[in-house]
A and B are shown apart, each in its own frame.
Chain A
Amino acid sequence: MTALYLYGITRPRRLPKRLAEKGVFLVRRGELAAIVSEVDASPVEASRRNLLAHADVVEELHAGATVLPARFGIVVPDRAALRELLLVDDLDRLLEEHRDTAELTLKASYDESVLSEVGAGLGRLRDAYARAPTLENGMALGEAVADALARRRERDAELIVRTLRPLAIDVRAGDPVGEHGLVNLAFLVDRRKVDAFSERLDKLGAQLSPPARFKLVGPLPPYSFVDLETPVAA
């Protein structure tokens, strides 16, 4: 038995040939359309391949239309259930809201040299560890380094947000990834401001010491900004 895998919601339109050939199609209801493909009714595996396939579909469609990307792993039994899903009031409002928006994700991390910078003020603990690298001395030094790194991160993250926020409609912060992680942000921007945002980021890179490495991905569909205001209860 098959079911329908939901990639997202969009306005009715003709799908790009590449996606149609992969078995992606739309199920319409009025001015709303669900982007789906057939899957076996068994659970969807959160594999690298499946996750990237989901991103590929919504990102391709986002390039030429408004898409509300669905969370990964939503499976609907059949077309009737899908059409019912399209009755949710907020969908139309969200599609209007995101007509000209895009998400830019920004991750930044420090070079390892940040440790020697934040460790500069920890002479006594460092000397103790260099003299006797015991577990106890290592923990004391390491914990102090982690604290100093957290303060540095907080300061720099604040600068990054303060610099870029004026160019965005909204921002959402996630947890920085990795031990030298600095920020993990998602910005909602007007599609016409993507270039301006990117240029502002260039200037920011050189302002941080030690230099942070940034990764900017987008313009993406608004993954982080499609929460329904009133969660639908059964």
Chain B
Amino acid sequence: MAVMQRESASNYVTRAPRSNGLADVLEILLDRGLVIDAYVRVSLVGIELLTVDLRVVVASVDTYLRFAEAVNRLDLRASDDSKSVPDLLEKGGEDMGEKAGKGAVEGGMDAIKEKIGLGKRGGDDDEDEDDDRGRQRQRSRSGSDDDK
């Protein structure tokens, strides 16, 4: 009984006995750990590149718009199941409008991104990041943004 419970519950938990990826060690090695200032010289290069990539700032225009899009998308998906024929017919016109509108939003987003300096980023040498972020990146790439 206890074993069963553990098996089903552990779907939610990934375990690793030791750090096995950059995401695991970045914070604990760069922000924490023993420092004895007076006697040592901390000499580093390359930190900015690593930290900028992994610390996601939630309160950004980009995020808000992505949240809105996601809620809308998930909402449409949920209501799809219960659609009757008249609904579908009515919906037809709206869908067209929505597509046009979406283009406009994305255009707006890119303009804002450019203004506040959120550009696309180049190579990411980390393989064990959430594929979540990969998907988001792809999504924004599929938009019409051009490099400055």
On A, residues with C-beta under 8 Å from B are 6, 8-9, 42-48, 51-52, 54-56, 59, 68-77, 81, 84-85, 88, 94, 103, 105, 109, 112-113, 115-116, 119, 122, 126, 129-135, 137-139, 141-143, 145-146, 149, 174-175, 177-181, 184, 186, 198-199, 201-203, 205-206, 211-220, 223-224, 226, 228, 231-234
Q: A139-B64, A142-B67 are in contact. List 7 more A-B contacts (CB 8 A).
A: A52-B19, A133-B68, A135-B65, A142-B65, A213-B12, A214-B12, A217-B24
Question: Do the beta carbons of B56 and A205 come within 8 Å of each other?
Answer: no
Q: A9-B34, A47-B46 are in contact. Are A113 and B74 (CB under 8 A)?
A: yes
0/1 per residue, B109-125, Cβ < 8 Å to A? 10010000000000001
Q: A178-B130, A220-B19 are in contact. Are A142 and B44 (CB under 8 A)?
A: no
Residues of B within 8 A of A43 (CB): 43-45
A111 to chain B, nearest CB (A): 10
Residues of B within 8 A of A220 (CB): 18-19, 28
Residues of A within 8 A of B133 (CB): 178
Question: Do the beta carbons of B67 and A133 come within 8 Å of each other?
Answer: no
- B23-82 interface (Cβ within 8 A of A): 23-47, 50, 54-56, 58-59, 61, 63-72, 74-76, 78
- Cα of A206 to Cα of B13 in the assembled complex, Å: 10
Q: Could you say which of B18, B32, B70 contacts A59, with CB atoms under 8 Å apart?
A: B18
Residues of A within 8 A of B130 (CB): 109, 178
A90 and chain B: residue at smallest CB distance: B36
Question: Do the beta carbons of B9 and A68 come within 8 Å of each other?
Answer: no
- Give the tally of cross-chain contacts (CB within 8 A): 261
Question: Do the beta carbons of B33 and A217 come within 8 Å of each other?
Answer: no
Q: A45-B46, A70-B33 are in contact. Are A175 and B40 (CB under 8 A)?
A: no
B10 at the interface (CB under 8 A from A): yes
How many residues of B sit at the interface, in one of the four size bands? Answer: 35 or more
Residues of B within 8 A of A181 (CB): 56
On B, residues with C-beta under 8 Å from A are 5-6, 8-47, 50, 54-56, 58-59, 61, 63-72, 74-76, 78, 94, 98, 101-102, 104-105, 108-109, 112, 125-126, 130, 132-133
